[in-house]
């Protein structure tokens, strides 16, 4: 990820430390001794899997992708934190797998009782992150096979008809990191997102193309802005669009 100006150095390090968590060991998460240059070089290395268009999914270029939950259309989730609702509108048209995974986990009750393990507001509003069953930023959803379910990075570029899978993009995505965006956290592997998600606390355009936004807070952003580290998701419910979920376990 390129630095646009010196003020983004701190935030970029937070991106690596706060968003690239899912699937990492605690040791990897805690490490802050790597230089910014080497960290960014690793993120942009040629080892990133080739991009996969939705039309190519039948070839299983991203293994298991056909079997993942998908949201075909819109859905609404109401998440209660500190006794107050947060309404999230999910976009299964532009991010069918990311939104479908989230709706499926909500319906399973996976998020109920989980904490927000990381909240970053200084030196500028950044993210509120949660959804880790372990509560420490290293976990993900374990499915009925006993393995962690992971989903591919999924980004729909502007003017595109299909998302690009498995690779970060330079183009401007249709779902952008505006304040109130809801997106998937992941490790350096672009196909490692599982259950961890984050709310963007401000416009974070420098994350566009690197992380999968799949919805937006439409009501209750004032609640999000007051979340503290350790606060719990009391419950999350799908209130509209549940019928649009396909391939649920």
Cα–Cα distance for residue pair 114/127, rounded to 1 Å: 17
- For residue 91, what are its two tokens? 């976009």
Domain ranges for the chain: 8-246
Using a 10 angstrom Cβ sphere, with 0-12 exposed, 13-18 middle and 19 or more buried, the burial of residue 156 is: buried
Q: What is the pTM of this model?
A: 0.80
Determine if the peptide bond prior to 123 is cis (ω within 30°): yes
b/e burial code for range 104-140 (CB count within 10 A of at least 16 → b): bbbbeebbeebebbbbbeeeeebbbbbbbbeeebbbb
DSSP state of 11: H
Q: CB count, 10 Å around CB of 99?
A: 35
pLDDT of residue 60: 53
The DSSP bridge partners found for residue 213 are 183
Q: What is the pLDDT of residues 211-244, one digit of tens each?
A: 999 999 999 999 999 999 999 999 999 999 999 9
Q: Which CATH architecture has domain 8-246?
A: Beta Barrel (2.40)
The pLDDT of residue 73 is above 90: yes
When mean pLDDT is compared across 55-64, 92-101, 157-166, 220-229, the lowest value belongs to: 55-64
Angle at 169 between CA 217 and CA 99, to 5 degrees: 35
Which of the four pLDDT bands, split at 50, 70 and 90, describes residue 55?
very low
| Distance from C-alpha of 61 to C-alpha of 54, rounded to nearest angstrom | 10
Q: Can you tell me the mean pLDDT for 167-189?
A: 97
């Amino acid at each position: 990820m390129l630095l646009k100006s010196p003020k983004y150095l701190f935030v970029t390090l937070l991106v690596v430390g706060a968003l690239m968590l899912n699937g990492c060991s605690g040791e990897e998460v805690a490490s802050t001794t790597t230089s910014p240059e080497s960290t960014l070089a690793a993120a942009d290395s040629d080892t990133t899997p080739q991009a996969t268009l939705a039309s190519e999914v039948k070839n299983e270029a991203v293994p298991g992708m056909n079997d993942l939950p998908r949201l075909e259309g819109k859905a609404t989730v109401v998440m209660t934190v500190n006794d107050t609702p947060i309404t999230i509108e999910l976009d299964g048209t532009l991010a069918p797998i990311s939104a479908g995974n989230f709706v499926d986990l909500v319906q399973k009750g996976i998020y109920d009782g989980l904490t927000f393990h990381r909240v970053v507001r200084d030196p500028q509003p950044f993210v509120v992150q949660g959804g880790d069953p372990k509560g420490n930023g290293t976990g993900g959803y374990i499915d009925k096979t006993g393995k962690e379910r992971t989903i591919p990075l999924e980004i729909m570029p502007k003017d595109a008809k299909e998302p690009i899978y498995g690779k970060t993009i330079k183009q401007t995505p249709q779902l952008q990191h505006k304040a109130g965006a809801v997106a998937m956290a992941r490790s350096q592997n672009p196909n490692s997102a599982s259950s961890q998600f984050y709310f963007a606390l401000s416009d974070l355009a420098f994350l566009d193309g690197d992380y999968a936004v799949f919805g937006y807070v439409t009501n209750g952003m004032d609640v999000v802005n007051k979340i503290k580290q350790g606060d719990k998701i009391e419950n999350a419910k799908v209130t509209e669009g549940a019928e649009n979920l396909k391939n649920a376990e």
